[in-house]
Amino acid sequence: MWKTHVYKGARKTTHTVRWAVRGKPFRKPLATAALTDPYRSELVSATRRGDAFNCATGEPSSRQAGADAVNWYDFAVQFVDAQWERTAGNSLKNTAKVLTATTVAMLRTSGAAYQPVDVRTALREFAFNRILRANPLPKERGVIPKTSNTVDRRSLIHPHRMARILARIRRRPRGGRRLHAYFATLYYTAPRPEEAAAMYVEDVLLPREDAEDQWCDVTFHTAEPEVGKNWTDDGEIREQRGLKGRAEEDTRVVPGPPALTKILRSTSRRRG
């Protein structure tokens, strides 16, 4: 720690605190002498306490911000821990992939002692809350691009073509009839795939065979996305969740056309 340097210029006077870390000089210019004494005292106190000094900035560890005091790996692990209870399994899986790629890219050494695939596996399957004290993003409203709710009919499958697709699925020797009902439900009622996968026979209200109106009602109440047993709390391949964008225990009833009624009636008979 050196003596405070005072520079008297034509417009203002600058008081500079000077010190060195491992022989490298550092300086902190301040506006007044009243500001230099507390800053210098803090450096002296840090030296007496044995605090570590950053060789790049010259600052003691006690002056580092919360984000600077934590390395990237610890931050990434804490971030995943904070997200675990409130984030869906697929989102956690994607978060782990992104953090794994970022962590590998930030390694200072090539990690020759380990195979790259082993490093990525350890990060993705073993390693992966908030360090920043405030949200650094601006609070102003951003520019939201305009969207259209109109469905482009060119993106829809023609009914005749879909009928051929469903017929081919039905002829599969293994699980064809079950998949036939699954994809028919997706086509005629447009649920999310994980919602259709969570359906039971009791969730379909079929009309009598001799009824004039052959429309059915399909109730969706649960979503079971396939995320892998490593990303669920109970070790199951699928994670059970409520309907996306709806309150807990909420349901959605969707009408099904006569074509779907016929398919689901045949499937329910075969399943007893």
Report which of residues 78 and 126 the model is more confident about: 78
> Helix or strand or coil: residue 35?
helix
Cα distance between residue 237 and residue 245, in whole Å: 23
Q: Per-residue pLDDT tens for 178-228?
A: 999 999 999 999 999 999 999 999 999 999 999 999 999 999 999 988 888
Give Dmax (Cα) for the chain: 102
Report in angstroms the alpha-carbon separations of 85 from 227, 232, 237, 256: 15, 11, 17, 35
Tokens of 38: 């507390």
- Terminal alpha carbon distance of the chain: 86
Tokens of 148: 């259209």
Residue with tokens 């079971």: 224
Domain limits of the chain? Answer: 5-63, 72-127, 157-226+249-270
Q: Per-residue pLDDT tens for 236-260?
A: 888 888 888 888 888 999 999 999 9
Q: Is 243 exposed, middle or buried (0-12, 13-18, 19+ CB in 10 A)?
A: buried
The pTM (predicted TM-score) of the whole model is: 0.51
Q: pLDDT category, 131, cuts 50, 70, 90? A: very low
Which of 90, 89, 124, 84 shows the shortest CA–CA distance to 104? 124
Cα distance between residue 100 and residue 233, in whole Å: 21
